[in-house]
Structure 1
């Protein structure tokens, strides 16, 4: 039984990897100097949908690593709104164990990548092992927040959603982001969340983000928004960066047309869903302050 299960898991991983390859990705792979991880919990997860229905867009959008050439966009450029993200990009699509991507699984028996964190948040017995009670409680949460598939797997999307839910009432409860009379865009790398506050009032967010990967960390400390370009395209990678607001060299807030929950990370920028980036564009202005702290979790 054990050997058969391992074989099934290996086949699942191979099939998932083959299906996930985006069309026309050769140039992006060449341009990206940091290969994806080859080990660890992230590499063993696949989107929890039938493998023949996996999205084909680039999941790990490369960001501009060097400062852009600052110029004043024309009125015609500013009048054009960046395209919306695909509908699927806004779905809360959990990354599940490959064994759960086959067949009609209704309640996962697999221990999730964030089992302990999810158990603690739900006030379950924290033992890091999936149980029937765990699965039922996790499924209830997933259904409430429209996380698919709602099969009770404690994956990264479920845990990220819990962090966001906890932060909604008062994202700065820990007082990590300095309170000022002016607007401050707060970037919490540890929770992978961002919001804007003026004084103690939150005027935007909190929302999910994806920050820089290992070796390309989003720079911490005080910054300011020095250049904004609604329809910016990376000059290094020729990738769209809608609603870009640069605050530290080549690092900017901007939307992505892929999965905000893919764990590898950006090339330093603060990635947002396109709709969130659009709303942030309407809130922040040039010379607004940005404060970044913490460290992106490894998984």
Structure 2
């Protein structure tokens, strides 16, 4: 395993590294700079070559000092603790997005169905706050302005959308979007994309 890989074995790798406190975020299944750094720390601790990639020796050593991750360890509900829902999120079908806790909660009639970590735009390209609705959806989309992939895009305010971000998965909060709501857990967003309908409410709040 190495930089750029994205699969379930990477997710297991991250969960096992997390058991040893080398990886401090929820597993994403994407092998980026944070995962490479965690692998290097593990290799250094075990006296292995500090390559940042996983060969057979590194993998077998990791298996010997960790246990098989549980389903919750592989796909926890969220890394960040959910904020108290905005009052506008308490009725109907809502993507309730908190800038304070950096989370998205998919809520139906006041109950949280699923949740995930998100990040937002920078000071120069801020994510708009307020009450919106899902205007249209695209399972595969590429930004016409920035020419970057936006899988599972759910547009809610002109060009701003909730979508999966490989950059968020790789770099975490070291980066920012161009105004969209980035999600780093592709599997969770894929499941959410199938549930959300055009016209469902979107609330972006502090």
SS, match of residue 232 in structure 1: coil
Q: Check 1:216–1:178 CA distance in 2 against 1; reply closer, same or farther (3 A cut).
A: same
1:237 aligns with 2:142: no
SS, match of residue 140 in structure 2: strand
Q: Partner residue of 2:3?
A: 55
Q: Which residue of 68, 92, 95 maps to 1:182?
A: 92
Give the Å deviation of 1:55: 1.5
Gaps of 5+ in 2: 16-22, 25-33, 47-68
Q: Partner residue of 1:226?
A: 135
SS, match of residue 106 in structure 2: strand
**If the length of structure 2 is used for normalisation, what is the TM-score?**
0.63
SS, match of residue 278 in structure 1: helix
Of structures 1 and 2, the larger Rg is shown by 1
Q: Partner residue of 1:270?
A: 181
8 A contact 1:89–1:257 mirrored in 2:
no
Gaps of 5+ in 1: 1-52, 58-84, 107-142, 148-159, 295-299
SS, match of residue 176 in structure 2: coil
Give the Å deviation of 1:265: 1.2
**If the length of structure 1 is used for normalisation, what is the TM-score?**
0.45
Q: Partner residue of 1:105?
A: 45
Taking the aligned partners of 1:289 and 1:263, their CA distance within structure 2 comes to 29
Task: Tell me the matched-pair count.
Answer: 158
Alignment of 1:1-299 (within 5 A): 55-56=3-4, 85-87=6-8, 88=10, 91=14, 93-94=23-24, 95=34, 101=40, 104-105=44-45, 161=79, 163=80, 167=81, 171=82, 174-203=84-113, 205-260=114-169, 261-272=172-183, 273-294=185-206
8 A contact 1:177–1:186 mirrored in 2:
no
Give the Å deviation of 1:227: 1.2
Give the Å deviation of 1:219: 0.8
